[in-house]
Amino acid sequence: MFVSVFLTLAVSPLLPAQMRAEKPWWYVMEQGKSHFRAGRYGEALRAFEAARDQRRSVYIRMEQDLIGLLSLPDVRRLGDNLDWVERYIAEMHVVSAREALDEVYYRYGVENLAGSAYRALEVLGRLKNYPEAEFWIGETWRAEGETGIALAQYQKAWDERANLETPEFASEIRYRMADLHRMRQEYNEMESHLLAIAAEDTLWMEQGNSFIRAAMTRTLTSGQSENRINNFLLNYRYMNPASLRAHRLLGYYYYASNRPSAADHLMFVFLIENSTLLDEIIRRDYSYTFTTLDDVLDIAAGRRELAEWIEENGYFRSMYYLGMRLYADGYSQAAREFWTVLARRPEAGEFYVRAAAQLRRQTPLLEPVVEAP
């Protein structure tokens, strides 16, 4: 009896660790996300850290197995020739090294190794990093109000971004850093991150982009036409959802700072958002041909998913402040055209009211942005 109790006491503290070890790191990671979504932040943090540490230990073992193989005298004589190393592994049945190389091929691709065994070893060294786990650890600290620790974690994830399973997620990490700097009123740092995201926008950074933006601005502001907006949307279409929020936040920030560059960013927001709406409309009706923005907004108002997308993205807010910035830059007729569209859209809510009020004034008021960064 005494022996049985002693063994139970001695073994039981190890059981939770053993149970966790039986689950792969990616499964533990998903458990952490479930805890996070349920608001169980302590359990989420432990799961994310366990997933990170477990993955690291897996790849450390693989790295050591491959180092051990490459250190053998017979293998060293083969030089840095991955094909010969592969042949040696097959002939000698070195299971651990085979497993390590298979993991590298799966995660990185054999075609990217240039036939180098030492390149495979280098890749294993990088695979020890788990940027997704670092990001979610940061998310947990952010939820707990520890913004300084969260920023440090996001930075770790950013530094390890080459190892992301979904490379496009890198911009999300940068957005999180920008959001926290905004919350902490560290606007220079926020601006730096947002500009870096905008720099990934092909059209924004395309050679001669200042000429393109000037041409877009002329279309939107020149002449006596009452169809400036419609002509703009007839001539230009561009979708880049990854940069949309960066342009929006920079537009608001520069508007609040009274910088003319606000107009360029808000114009890109207007272009990307309407190109996205048109793409969704055409996806359902291939015969659709753009005529007017009012027609687009009528269709969007009748489709719940488009109406929700407009609401979630602050479409009418961005449109209103683009008009405000154009007015500040001396394009009063173009500004009034934006406000006229808004004043016909009750679904624009607050900005329906604001636009109508601006149109009634002989001299419109330059208002502060509703949600300044």
SS3 8: helix
Q: What is the pLDDT of residue 370?
A: 67
Digit-coded pLDDT (tens) for 235-253: 999 999 999 999 999 999 9
Q: What is the pLDDT of residue 20?
A: 42
Q: What is the pLDDT of residue 369?
A: 81
Digit-coded pLDDT (tens) for 59-104: 999 999 999 999 999 999 999 999 999 999 999 999 999 999 999 9
Q: What is the pLDDT of residue 124?
A: 93
- How far is it, in rounded angstroms, from Cα 180 to Cα 159? 17
pLDDT for 234 beyond 90: yes
- How far is it, in rounded angstroms, from Cα 254 to Cα 373? 10
Is 272:244 a contact under the CB 8 Å cutoff? yes
Which amino acid, residue 178?
A: A
The tokens for 63 are: 């790295």
- How far is it, in rounded angstroms, from Cα 313 to Cα 318? 9
- How far is it, in rounded angstroms, from Cα 30 to Cα 184? 30
- Residue whose pair of structure tokens reads 């395309």 in the numeric block: 206
Is 336:359 a contact under the CB 8 Å cutoff? yes
pTM: 0.84
- How far is it, in rounded angstroms, from Cα 231 to Cα 362? 26
pLDDT for 2 beyond 50: no
Q: What is the pLDDT of residue 226?
A: 77
